[in-house]
Amino acid sequence: MYHAKQARRPILKRTLFHFLAVFGVVFPAFAAFAGKASAGERIQTPTGDLRSTVLADLKPHAGASKTYNEFWTYQFYLEGNIQVVLNFSRVNLGSFKSPVCGADLTILGFKGANYSVAREYDKKNFQFTDSNQQLRIHEKIWFDGKLPDAHHVHFATNKKDVGYFLDLDFSDILPGKVWGDGMFKFGSSDAVGIFIHIPCAKVCGRLAINQDTLEVKGRAYMDHTYQTDLAPDLVGAGFRYVTQSGPLEVGYVMDPVGRFDKQPVGYGLRHAEGGFTLLKPSSLKVVSKSKAMGANVPTVLEIQYQDGMKSVLQRSQDRLQQSTLHEFSGFAKMAIKSFMGGEILVFRGMGTLNGAQPMAYNYFSVE
């Protein structure tokens, strides 16, 4: 297991942005998988069936609350056993902090080391242009391209004497898919939206730390999520997975907190010659777990789908285990834990789907 190299973040409020942005959506993982809770407020699944995503899905959605947050999350799997996670985000923390936008980059396995950096900007920096489907956070941090025909991402920044650079061009992009309107409604007032804009694509370009530059190529996945409240108030667990060979299967599933009923939130996609099949989860079950970073973390999770099929996800090799609060202690750590509802532990790595098919996973746990 590698350890990420990060710049220190001495400002508490700035760190809260990083606390949110590092994970795409702050869905604490597996805390709620261990047992069943009594039925509560109803969760409504999306209206409609599987359809292709369109521009209206990709562009920023209207924020209707003071704690509305939105994320565009990329997972890159590059030759040389390099994994990269890139988030574009806009974050609202209610009365705690003025709205901001930002981006963060995590690199796993760059010449034997991990790196991560987060940048935060005033909300006026956040711009989306329909004509070229460009989302711009900063002049050196953006994505653009009319999906599914073209796409490009660019991230370049310097922080604490370390330079970070990623520039990737996409090709052979599978069309984005979404379950109906993409909206999972929580009770009468809250909602989470999930859109898978890039189930799979080829990428090529450059990745660099300081002046150490690699020409890279590999595969990519991207989803887009938003929520009307801070995630710990809505969801108690979450898991992303992307297969690395054989038939493509991707998924993002979550478990609501106890005040809601136990309908899982999220969906999966399974690709075959005839196109994509929508996987609608009906239940989540922890088959086994082990101790990691002082927490009981599932090693095998079973997702049962409404059509009778199931996916068994095995966590085999954590390439990253990290607390978002590893740089803090005392009052600062207590304040963040109190505001966010816990300490998030991050687990990213490689495992298997249904006992054989290699997959990458990305999950996180609140303690």
d(CA 324, CA 15): 9
Determine the pLDDT at residue 90.
87
The contacts of residue 131 (CB under 8 Å, 6+ apart) are none
> How far is residue 118's CA from residue 103's CA, in Å, rounded to a whole number?
6
pLDDT averaged over the chain? Answer: 83
* Whether pLDDT at 334 is above 90: no
Q: Of the ranges 53-57, 186-190, 253-257, which is most confident?
A: 53-57
pLDDT, average across residues 295-318:
91
In the chain the domains, ranked by start, together with CATH numbers, are 4-366 (2.40.370.10)
Indicate if the pLDDT at residue 146 is higher than 60.
yes
- pLDDT computed for residue 9 by the predictor: 37
Residue type at position 49: D
What's the pLDDT band for 312 if we cut at 50, 70, 90?
very high
Mean pLDDT computed over 344-364:
89
pTM listed for this prediction: 0.87
pLDDT band, very low/low/confident/very high, at 34 (cuts 50, 70, 90): very low
- Say what percent of the chain tops pLDDT 70: 76
The pLDDT value recorded for residue 304 is 95
Helix/strand/coil (H/E/C) assignment for every residue in 319-362: EEEEECCCCCCHHHHHHHHHHHCCCEEEEEEEEEECCCEEEEEE
Specify the pLDDT at position 59: 95
Q: How confident is the model at residue 236 (pLDDT cuts 50, 70, 90)?
A: low
User: Residue 117 — pLDDT band, cuts 50, 70, 90?
Assistant: very high
CA distance 15 to 3: 19
pLDDT of residue 27 exceeding 70, the answer is no
CA 24 – CA 260 distance, rounded (Å):
22
DSSP 110-137: ETTEEEEEEEEEEGGG-EEETTTTEEEE
The angle that helices 330-340 and 12-21 make with each other, rounded to 10 degrees, is: 50
